[in-house]
Structure 1
Amino acid sequence: MSAPHLPKVAGIDPEVPVSTQTAAPLREIPAAPGAFIQDRLAGWVSDLTTLHELTERLAATATLDAALNELLHAGAALVGARRGLLVLERAGTTTPSTTLGLGLGPADLGHLETVERSATALGRVLDGPPDAADARDGIATPDLLGDQDLDPRHREVATRLGYAASYALPLASEAAGRLGGAVWFYDEPGEPSEKQRHLVGLYARYATEHLARLTELERARADIATVAEELLPSRLPRIPGVRLAARHRTGPQGGGDWYDALPLPDHALGLAVGSVGGSGPSAMAAMGRLRASLRAYAVMEGEDPVAVLSDLELLLRLTEPARTATALFAYCEPAARKVVLAGAGHTPPLVLGDRRCEYVETTLSAPLGMLACWEAPSVEFSPAPGETVLLYTDGLLRRTGDAMDRAFARLHSAAASVPKADRRDPAAVTDHVLRAMLPDGLDRSDSTEDVVVLAAHFD
């Protein structure tokens, strides 16, 4: 009689003997298979977040100087350094166009300049072939003072300034080429890790593109400012009994604000300010034509400011019917202390003296180019000895960001606050008014408004 078979259970063979040895008790819970990957992903996300924040801060910079400062600080944070040096070079030259230090004073920069260029890591990334490995990965010098081949002058400067290691990186990209280079200094021997090099390399390539755009933008702004200055008086005339001063700032796109001062027969003086609608090269060209035309009309009919502006209105309407402009022309006789002026949609002059600070009451009139026939009464007034007549464009008021009525009040307050010791100097008057009206400075680059101020002080 055969032995009975044990019942079979799915997946278990009952005939396989069971081990008599028991497994050791589980003392630790093993890590999940994806924990390492999760840590790596978390690290990548953290690095990308940091890189994103730094590039956003860089992208928010609107001037080249601000971008260079941001680049130096961000690069130092990425590589773990405290000090740094950045050099920009003009294309095709080895002459630095901009040198900027982080944690380095002018004397420190002077010491660094005494080291031969080829003996430094920064010099090698600047002068090396663009496709060299150094141009991609940078040059790390982990122990400067321990390097037996180090240039003696470089060793002396490193000892004097107290840095022991450096990491140099070119500012280059495929689209922009090589613009310059940066180097960061360590107080102790060391070098950035592979991850740090990768992050700062990505950041530097993005920064290079941004710097290239800002460089072109600033070059264009400089060209526009040069053209605008050439369209305005190269110097102010000298007329007995009156002293002149002018300040002018052209917006980044080029605008149409202008001023003029020209000597007229019988020791008279013509003063004019105006603004052409629009911006850019077209507005600048129109401004030049308008100013030249007004000069011609002023020589022929300067004693009658209304006739001067009427002729200007006719010319503008016939030659440029789609354009508008404001203008103010004043005929001055310093010996007789007489000023006759007319304005076309322009802001009224301001008279400043020891006993008064007030706007000249002018008639309300439309800008040039808005009426079929422009004509408005002229205004005559007599400045007292020691008084200054201030002419300006509305760009000065708009730059404040205030409503026009508040901007006018602010201008009046700024003029009234000129110290008495400065009221007989037209240049000091204009500078004080500009400082009071524009605390951030006349050359603030984020404003699109032109600014013109012309001051005439009567002795």
Structure 2
Amino acid sequence: MLDIALLLRVLVDAVVAAQNDMGVCDAIERNQPVGKPAVMSAPHLPKVAGIDPAEDVSAHTVPTLPGIPAPPGGPGAPIQDRLAGWVSDLTTLHELTERLARTDALDAALREVLRAGAALVGARRGMAVLEPADGHGPVTTVGLGLAHSELGHIETVPRSATSYGRILEGLPDPVAVPDLFRDEELDPRHREVAARLGYAASYAVPLATEAAGKLGAVVWLYDEPAEPDERRRHLMGLYGRYAAEHLARLLELARGRATMATLAEELLPSRLPRVPGVRLAARHRTSAAGGGDWYDALALPEGALGLAVGSVSGSGPSALAAMGRLRASLRAYAVMEGEDPVAVLSDLELLLRLTEPARSATALFAYLEPVGGAGGSGPACGAGRRKLVLAGAGHTPPLIVGEHRTEYVETSLSAPLGMLACWEAPSVELVPEPGETVLFYTDGLLRRTGEPMDRAFARLHTAAATVPRADRDTPDAVADHVLRALLPGAPDSPGTAGGPRTGAGRGDGNDEDVVLLAARFE
């Protein structure tokens, strides 16, 4: 029987148990004892346990406990040092994968993969290309230590001449180019770009899973001729497999969000009507889960106009489908009896109870009378002024924005549709002044602020009151100013001026749709 010191036996048992728990017990067989890794081009690599080339492996050895004699130096000392290195490597992988697991968006995950990989392979700069092999996108490129223009320079090199390009074209294994300028077959354009950007070597790995196939590639760039040793490549391989699985999950989520945003956009008006005396603008941002917030603007007979906003309870495809049915029904009721908003919402409530008994909804419908209507020709209305009659069912009140006032419309309290056996609430009449803008919105705009509702209403009022005078001439400018003031971190959504704009959620924890409909009166 071998006479092995007690401390060494404890270390061996602990390391084997830890490796079995983490699923990487093959690390003992695949790692070979190595000396100091070659010095890479990055002079100040992140000091990650087990990866710092300046740190001697023996420095990670567990110190001798007081009162316990140290094991004799002999055959056990190299084994103990090797085990300490394996423990350090496992700790490093654990820390890096935990940081990656905390990312919830593709761009953030790709940047984390670049940073972690740079520490593992000993590089300073890199580039990640997400390009799923199934062709369904999204396609994106992220850089580490490279400006946008520098990424553009690299992308001018023919793909077949780059290491990451060969992986994207089908090569399944990592590609190391230890010295670009000694490669006689190097493409002249690649040589020119490498010299301009100052890198002399590269190491590229694929991002792929068995289920999703190839997702993309990552390449790290060295300032001097270099390549990672076997130990670093093995650690990068372990990390890369986990990173690919994580990216595949995020890719599936991103595609689902894009699908939900597309469905919501198709269910909403493709364009806003043109009605004399009124200009319209709409903004719509879909949450990550896909909610049921909606808006509508409908040109009615004799030059009248119907405006509506609403929100269906729930999220996901079922909520979107219910929203589409509810909006289509409201349009039909508006054509038949739009001059009476209470009747429109009453019919909508009856339909909801019959067809969607387990769902509730809030809605607001406003009817703008035709030019020269009864409300517009009376003494209470000046020349060109038109009366707006509206009714709401559990919905947030509209906000009037003008040169002389910024105030909420006083609407009566009412329950959402589907909450009571019979819904009914009185309508409210409003006569906007020329130059004023009426904002209709859903409560998602308030909830995304993260404030209590009373403070969110105050913030909305402040945002509307501080619209610059030059921006008050167009409803688009008013709507954009309000959104920037309330949601400063949200990106602008694509769209056309005066028409609907939509945008998918970014995984920022704001699981609320946002709808804002602005009507400016001339």
TM-score normalised to the size of structure 2? 0.78
TM-superposed deviation, 1:33? 4.4
Give the aligned partner of residue 102 of structure 1.
144
Give the aligned partner of residue 173 of structure 1.
209
Q: Which whole-Å CA distance do the structure 1 matches of 2:370 and 2:224 have between them?
A: 71
Give the aligned partner of residue 268 of structure 1.
304
Is 1:39–2:81 an aligned residue pair? yes
Shifted more, 121-130 versus 235-244: the winner is 121-130
Residue 431 of structure 1: SS of its match in structure 2? helix
Residue 369 of structure 1: SS of its match in structure 2? coil
TM-superposed deviation, 1:106? 3.3
TM-superposed deviation, 1:95? 10
Contact 1:241/1:334 (8 A) holds in 2: no
Give the aligned partner of residue 119 of structure 1.
161
TM-superposed deviation, 1:179? 1.3
Supply the RMSD in Å over aligned alpha carbons: 1.9
Is 1:242–2:278 an aligned residue pair? yes
Which of 98, 113, 119 matches 1:56? 98
TM-superposed deviation, 1:263? 0.7
In structure 1, list runs of 5 or more residues that go unmatched: 1-28
Is 1:284–2:320 an aligned residue pair? yes
Shift in alpha-carbon separation, 1:82–1:152, aligned structure 2, 3 A: same
Q: Which whole-Å CA distance do the structure 2 matches of 1:356 and 1:180 have between them?
A: 55
Q: Which whole-Å CA distance do the structure 2 matches of 1:35 and 1:385 have between them?
A: 88
In structure 2, list runs of 5 or more residues that go unmatched: 1-70, 377-385, 492-504
TM-superposed deviation, 1:320? 1.6
Spell out the pairing of 1:264-413 with structure 2 (5 A cutoff).
Answer: 264-333=300-369, 335=371, 336=376, 337-413=386-462
Q: Which whole-Å CA distance do the structure 2 matches of 1:280 and 1:170 have between them?
A: 33
1:172-231 CA distance string (max 9 Å, x none): 233332211111110011111211111111111111111111111111111111111111
Give the aligned partner of residue 415 of structure 1.
464
Is 1:213–2:242 an aligned residue pair? no
Shift in alpha-carbon separation, 1:401–1:110, aligned structure 2, 3 A: closer
What letter corresponds to residue 160 of structure 1 in structure 2? R
TM-superposed deviation, 1:302? 0.7
TM-superposed deviation, 1:445? 2.5
Q: Which whole-Å CA distance do the structure 2 matches of 1:348 and 1:256 have between them?
A: 19
TM-superposed deviation, 1:113? 2.6
Give the aligned partner of residue 514 of structure 2.
451
Shift in alpha-carbon separation, 1:306–1:278, aligned structure 2, 3 A: same
Give the aligned partner of residue 19 of structure 1.
none
Which of 103, 109, 115 matches 1:73? 115
Give the aligned partner of residue 156 of structure 1.
192
Contact 2:339/2:369 (8 A) holds in 1: no
1:36-80 CA distance string (max 9 Å, x none): 222222222222222112111111111111111111121112111
Is 1:254–2:306 an aligned residue pair? no
Shift in alpha-carbon separation, 1:310–1:128, aligned structure 2, 3 A: closer
Shifted more, 380-389 versus 88-97: the winner is 88-97
TM-superposed deviation, 1:168? 1.2
Shift in alpha-carbon separation, 1:128–1:284, aligned structure 2, 3 A: closer
Residue 167 of structure 1: SS of its match in structure 2? strand
Q: Which whole-Å CA distance do the structure 2 matches of 1:152 and 1:310 have between them?
A: 73
1:432-459 CA distance string (max 9 Å, x none): 1111111111644232101100000001
Residue 182 of structure 2: SS of its match in structure 1? coil
Contact 1:85/1:182 (8 A) holds in 2: yes
What letter corresponds to residue 220 of structure 2 in structure 1? W
What letter corresponds to residue 507 of structure 2 in structure 1? S
1:79-117 CA distance string (max 9 Å, x none): 111111222223256999222222223332333233332
Contact 1:166/1:183 (8 A) holds in 2: yes
Q: Which whole-Å CA distance do the structure 2 matches of 1:341 and 1:93 have between them?
A: 48
TM-superposed deviation, 1:35? 2.6
TM-superposed deviation, 1:30? 5.9
Shift in alpha-carbon separation, 1:260–1:311, aligned structure 2, 3 A: same
Q: Which whole-Å CA distance do the structure 1 matches of 2:354 and 2:137 have between them?
A: 52
Contact 2:267/2:324 (8 A) holds in 1: yes
Q: Which whole-Å CA distance do the structure 2 matches of 1:111 and 1:376 have between them?
A: 64
Residue 237 of structure 1: SS of its match in structure 2? coil
Shift in alpha-carbon separation, 1:159–1:206, aligned structure 2, 3 A: same
TM-superposed deviation, 1:275? 0.6
1:116-143 CA distance string (max 9 Å, x none): 322222222233453xxxx1xx222111
Q: Which whole-Å CA distance do the structure 2 matches of 1:289 and 1:362 have between them?
A: 26
Q: Which whole-Å CA distance do the structure 1 matches of 2:417 and 2:157 have between them?
A: 62
What letter corresponds to residue 403 of structure 2 in structure 1? D
Give the aligned partner of residue 193 of structure 1.
229
- Identity percentage of aligned residues: 76
TM-score normalised to the size of structure 1? 0.89
Shift in alpha-carbon separation, 1:199–1:420, aligned structure 2, 3 A: same
Contact 1:334/1:458 (8 A) holds in 2: no
Shifted more, 121-130 versus 392-401: the winner is 121-130
Shifted more, 121-130 versus 139-148: the winner is 121-130
Contact 2:467/2:482 (8 A) holds in 1: yes
Residue 302 of structure 2: SS of its match in structure 1? coil
Contact 2:125/2:220 (8 A) holds in 1: yes
TM-superposed deviation, 1:343? 0.4
Q: Which whole-Å CA distance do the structure 1 matches of 2:143 and 2:340 have between them?
A: 59
Paired residues in the alignment total 425
Shifted more, 326-335 versus 103-112: the winner is 103-112
